[in-house]
A and B are shown apart, each in its own frame.
Chain A
Amino acid sequence: MRLLAVLALVSCSTAGETPPWHSPEGPADPDPTLAAMPPATERTEVPPPPFSEGIFPCSQCHSRAPANTKRRELTFHREIVLAHDEGHRWCLDCHDPDDRDKLRLASGERVAFEESFRLCGQCHGDKYRDWRAGVHGRRSGEWSGHKTYLLCAHCHNPHRPGFHPGFRGEGPPGREPVIPMPPPVRPGRR
């Protein structure tokens, strides 16, 4: 439990004292280890979700048409390739059909994009635990104090999360092929 004590997260947007994995209006936290967490003592920052430019809020377009849950060829969002357990899921299993600016947990609870890790954590519990402990994913800041976390979606394309060797710049930044920095100079060759 002490382990979790240092992991209290405070979203930079709200800057309050509640860790973002506690939904303010939602029901009791589904994860008992989270509910039992002591109050936040150390502050952690999460940068805003990596939306494509001009895409958010989703409701600017989606409030006009009724929700269509049918699996179909999309006419908009054509760049999205769904390769993430696509046999069992379609858009509105994760995006809330009634409030497009929110995501939706299996329980029906709505969560903000800033808390998308709760959605991912429903299936990827082991990674979620490691991420909260500061072990999965990148951290910057202080080893004993204020840290910056990243959301899952900062590194993984939520629609197509696999990392494939040779992928070419699709999806969010950071997915381009990585060019290594120069190798060291061999001794004796100057």
Chain B
Amino acid sequence: MCGDPTDRRSFLRQVAGAAAGGVAAGLLPSCVGERLRDLPRDEARRRLARLEAETRARFGREVTLSAQEAQPGVVFGYALDLSRCIGCRRCVYACVEENNQSREPQIHWIKVLAMDKRRGIDLVHADAYYNPPAVPEDGRFYVPVQCQQCDNAPCTKVCPVRATWQEPDGIVVVDYDWCIGCRYCMAACPYGARHFNWSEPGLRAAELNPALHYLGNRPRPMGVVEKCTFCIQRTRQGRYPACVEACPVGARKFGNLLDPGSEVRYVIEHKRVLILKEELNTMPKFFYFYGT
């Protein structure tokens, strides 16, 4: 029963069956495991190496699994130009490819909402399923929504096992090996930005992006929640997220909020900026702006 620490989920299931309800977390034996971030460095390295080998064997391809930490002095911010977005959904599929989302059943971390220009930003009447022969459509504008990387994130507060938290660079992440799949975080998120793996993710070896991050795009098991991580595997290496590079009209901007010379800071200081559901005090680090 106390073999592989990643078998925690099935272990818990057995414990839940055996024990009558209130098993306090402190009473569980230590072999249940830890979050990667709680492990001593050498042990974390061993677990990473083991996970890497498992992924390599499962997909039959060379992969690299990193757990690169946040750069000091960096808090990531995102800006999206509503006056430019044409609703082409290139970002959606670039994200799927970069972050190894399940193809079948389908998981999209970015949802592009079409809205009526007459109504303005109105989430109630938004249409995510628009499919005209060409975009942009007359009289409509488009609001892509993904994780807003809230500074005051409701999703991390409700997690009963602390499997999701905010990193020092502001990215809200999930430890997929620690998530118990209760989906409280999905209920807490006001932006619909978290997604659940209802069944085993459908990801073929040929589709796998082999540059993996432990807290980001590594293949997920069934029964865990996943979300946008600002492409943690790219941005911690200094690169732009995949959606930024995929956008054909250059509507997506990304950078360090603490650097006064960054593109996001320029946007915040020079443009009309808004955040979604400001009244909830979630303090998103994802800003929408009008570039014209």
CB distance from A51 to the nearest CB of B (A): 21
| Docked-complex contact A145 and B128, CB < 8 angstroms | no
The answer, among B240, B244, B250, B265, for a CB contact under 8 Å with A137, is B250
| C-alpha spacing A85/B84, complex, angstroms | 23
- Annotate B247-277 by CB proximity to A: 1 below 8 A, 0 otherwise: 1111001111001111101110011000000
Interface of A is mostly: loop
| C-alpha spacing A130/B291, complex, angstroms | 9
Q: Which residue of B lies closest to A146 (CB)?
A: B238
- Count of B interface residues, CB-CB < 8 Å: 48
Q: Which residue of B lies closest to A142 (CB)?
A: B238
Q: Which residue of A lies closest to B245 (CB)?
A: A140
The answer, yes or no, to whether B105 is at the interface (CB within 8 Å) is: yes
The answer, yes or no, to whether B165 is at the interface (CB within 8 Å) is: no
The answer, yes or no, to whether A112 is at the interface (CB within 8 Å) is: no
| C-alpha spacing A186/B255, complex, angstroms | 33
* Chain B neighbourhood of A3, CB < 8 A: 260-261, 265-266
The answer, yes or no, to whether A136 is at the interface (CB within 8 Å) is: yes
CB distance from B110 to the nearest CB of A (A): 10
CB distance from B108 to the nearest CB of A (A): 5
The answer, yes or no, to whether B162 is at the interface (CB within 8 Å) is: no
The answer, yes or no, to whether B87 is at the interface (CB within 8 Å) is: yes
| Docked-complex contact B129 and A186, CB < 8 angstroms | yes
| Docked-complex contact B136 and A144, CB < 8 angstroms | no
Q: In the complex, which of the residues B132, B247, B250, B254 has the most CB atoms of chain A within 10 Å of its own CB atom?
A: B250
- Count of A interface residues, CB-CB < 8 Å: 35
| Docked-complex contact B238 and A178, CB < 8 angstroms | no
| Docked-complex contact A180 and B87, CB < 8 angstroms | yes
The answer, yes or no, to whether B50 is at the interface (CB within 8 Å) is: no
Q: Which residue of B lies closest to A150 (CB)?
A: B250
Binding site for B on A (CB under 8 A): 2-6, 130, 133-145, 150, 155, 165-166, 174, 177-186, 190
Could you list 7 further interchain pairs (A-B, Cβ under 8 angstroms) beyond the known A135-B79, A144-B259? Answer: A2-B261, A135-B253, A135-B263, A139-B263, A144-B256, A181-B89, A183-B128
Binding site for A on B (CB under 8 A): 79, 81, 86-90, 92-93, 105-106, 108, 111, 128-136, 138, 235, 238-240, 244-245, 247-250, 253-256, 259-263, 265-267, 270-271, 291
10 cross-chain pairs, A with B, having the tightest CB-CB distances, nearest first? A138-B250, A181-B89, A177-B134, A134-B263, A133-B266, A140-B245, A142-B238, A6-B261, A183-B129, A137-B250
